[in-house]
């Protein structure tokens, strides 16, 4: 086994040298038996932790009934999930897909088709923001506009105009006769946990209304309780017209959704869009079970309480180790710890301490614990962060001496 064996996985991920074979709530157990505190949640996916008993029961029941049914037929569980998501949000309709990028693709197509159906087929361009992340398909890398994801993949999909985050004058200048929509993450996750002020979202809403544009909130990462509201748009004081969801929606089972108002969705008629797997019974069972848990009284309040606790404790760590970490940012349990040393080094050092986190833009280490995290588990995580900072701080001082 000591021999280096050739992996047959496409090497597009720089993987850490650890594999997990079991999960228990907020914990992941590695193949060598080591227990890791999971403050990454599979990048904001395992919102109810690992093998939540209620989800296991719902999925086990569904596994014994039926796995896949074509969208050629009625989908009672899909009807139920769509109704519940709409009742819990601004939306009137939902389309089900299998991932975040697919949900965003649906949003892009829907925004363009809305303009077309309104007799304004020349409007197809979408304004997006620097630092954005919308997925890895050809259209969503063009929407995200990051050179490192676009390079070498041929001409970017046309129709995206990018402006600096929070710069309303730049947005105004970017609006032209071909603009169809504005798309933004309520909090940029991959971009480094960057949250514009509520006034910015209000100004975007006003510009959209004034110019006949649609407002798209990409809530693939911020949705499903992550920010201390079921959906992050509720913190902004405005409602979008279209909202892609994914990550936590299935509690670990792949599912994406694109929610919209009836008006915004008016161009999406029979035959205009589709998916083989989208809305399959297993995904519907998973997301309906996730909603059962998240809509129960006290769930969101718990997220808010844990958020406050974790933020306060992390602020203390920043005070004690200013040579390692400088700032706590974010909403709910989408928290960023800005590092002074390279964020990847800090995240790796935390993993050595058996705490899983996710590096992001702007030299930020993201903390995305399962939303069911307890006070004791937050204490344990902060203890490990403190130990890591102490170790790195000594190393930094030795290095400087």
Ligand X SMILES: *Cc1c(COP(=O)(O)O)cnc(C)c1O
Q: Which residues are catalytic?
A: 133, 218, 247
CA atoms of 106 and 258, how far apart (whole Å): 7
Q: According to the binding rule CB under 6 A, does residue 185 interact with ligand X? A: yes
Number of residues that bind ligand X (CB under 6 A): 15
Can you tell me which residue has the tokens 């344990």? Answer: 380
Helix, strand, or coil here: 161?
A: strand
Helix, strand, or coil here: 144?
A: helix
- For residue 338, what is the enclosing H or E element? strand 334-339
Shortest approach of ligand X to residue 219 CB, angstroms? Answer: 7
Angle ∠(11,146,275) on CA atoms, nearest 5: 70
Q: According to the binding rule CB under 6 A, does residue 134 interact with ligand X? A: yes
Query: Taking contact as CB under 6 A, which single stretch among the options 201-209, 214-222, 269-277, 317-325 is the one that binds ligand X?
Result: 214-222
- Contacts from 157-161 at CB under 8 Å and sequence distance 24+? 159/112, 159/124, 159/125, 159/126, 160/125, 160/126, 160/127, 160/128, 161/125, 161/126, 161/127, 161/128
CA atoms of 274 and 256, how far apart (whole Å): 13
Q: Among residue numbers 356 through 375, which ones bind ligand X (CB under 6 A)?
A: none
Query: Taking contact as CB under 6 A, which single stretch among the options 98-106, 309-317, 337-345, 368-376 is the one that binds ligand X?
Result: 98-106
Q: According to the binding rule CB under 6 A, does residue 104 interact with ligand X? A: yes
Given the complex with ligand X, which of 62 and 221 has the nearer CB atom?
A: 221
Distances (CA, A) of 109 to 37, 213, 223, 246: 39, 14, 21, 17
| Interacting residue with ligand X among 106, 220, 284, 287 (CB under 6 A) | 220
Angle ∠(390,392,396) on CA atoms, nearest 5: 115
| Interacting residue with ligand X among 46, 89, 179, 221 (CB under 6 A) | 221
Q: According to the binding rule CB under 6 A, does residue 331 interact with ligand X? A: no
Q: According to the binding rule CB under 6 A, does residue 130 interact with ligand X? A: no
Query: Taking contact as CB under 6 A, which single stretch among the options 9-17, 94-102, 171-179, 319-327 is the one that binds ligand X?
Result: 94-102
Contact (CB, 8 A) for 142 and 156: yes
Given the complex with ligand X, which of 23 and 256 has the nearer CB atom?
A: 256
Nearest to 60 by CA among 289, 245, 261: 289
| Interacting residue with ligand X among 95, 133, 160, 201 (CB under 6 A) | 133
| Interacting residue with ligand X among 99, 115, 357, 388 (CB under 6 A) | 99
Shortest approach of ligand X to residue 344 CB, angstroms? Answer: 18
Binding site for ligand X (CB under 6 A): 99-101, 104, 133-135, 185, 189-190, 218, 220-221, 246-247
């Amino acid at each position: 086994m000591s021999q280096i064996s050739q992996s047959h996985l496409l090497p597009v991920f720089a993987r850490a040298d650890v594999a997990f074979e079991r999960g228990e709530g907020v914990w992941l157990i590695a193949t060598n038996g080591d227990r890791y505190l999971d403050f990454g949640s599979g990048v904001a996916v395992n919102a109810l932790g690992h093998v939540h008993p209620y989800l296991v029961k719902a999925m086990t029941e569904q596994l014994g009934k039926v796995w896949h049914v074509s969208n050629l037929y009625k989908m009672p569980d899909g009807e139920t999930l769509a109704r519940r998501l709409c009742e819990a949000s601004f939306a009137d309709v939902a389309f089900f897909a299998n991932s975040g990028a697919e949900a965003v693709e649906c949003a892009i197509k829907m925004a363009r088709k809305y303009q077309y159906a309104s007799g304004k087929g020349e409007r197809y361009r979408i304004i997006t923001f620097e630092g954005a992340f919308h997925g890895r398909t050809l259209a969503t890398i063009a929407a995200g506009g990051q050179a490192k994801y676009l390079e070498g993949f041929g001409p970017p999909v046309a129709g995206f105009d990018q402006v600096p985050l929070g710069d309303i004058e730049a947005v105004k200048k970017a609006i032209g006769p071909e603009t169809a929509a504005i798309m933004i993450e309520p909090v940029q996750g991959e971009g480094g946990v960057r949250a514009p002020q509520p006034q910015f979202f209000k100004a975007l809403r006003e510009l959209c209304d004034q110019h006949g544009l649609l407002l798209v909130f990409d809530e693939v990462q911020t949705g499903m309780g992550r920010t201390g509201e079921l959906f992050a748009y509720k913190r902004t004081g405005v409602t979008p017209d279209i909202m892609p969801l994914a990550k936590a929606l299935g509690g670990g089972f792949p599912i994406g959704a694109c929610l919209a108002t009836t008006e915004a969705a008016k161009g999406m008629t029979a035959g205009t869009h589709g998916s083989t797997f989208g809305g399959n019974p297993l995904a519907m069972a998973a997301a309906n079970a996730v909603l059962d848990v998240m809509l129960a009284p006290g769930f969101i309040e718990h997220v808010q309480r844990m958020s406050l606790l974790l933020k306060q404790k992390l602020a203390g760590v920043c005070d004690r180790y200013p040579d390692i970490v400088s700032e706590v940012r974010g909403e709910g349990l989408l928290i960023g710890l800005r590092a002074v040393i390279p964020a990847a080094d800090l995240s790796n050092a935390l993993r050595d301490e058996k705490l899983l986190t996710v590096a992001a833009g702007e030299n930020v280490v993201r903390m995305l614990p399962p939303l069911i995290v307890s006070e004791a588990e937050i204490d344990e995580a902060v203890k490990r962060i403190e130990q890591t900072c102490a170790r790195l701080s000594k190393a930094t001082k030795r290095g400087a001496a």
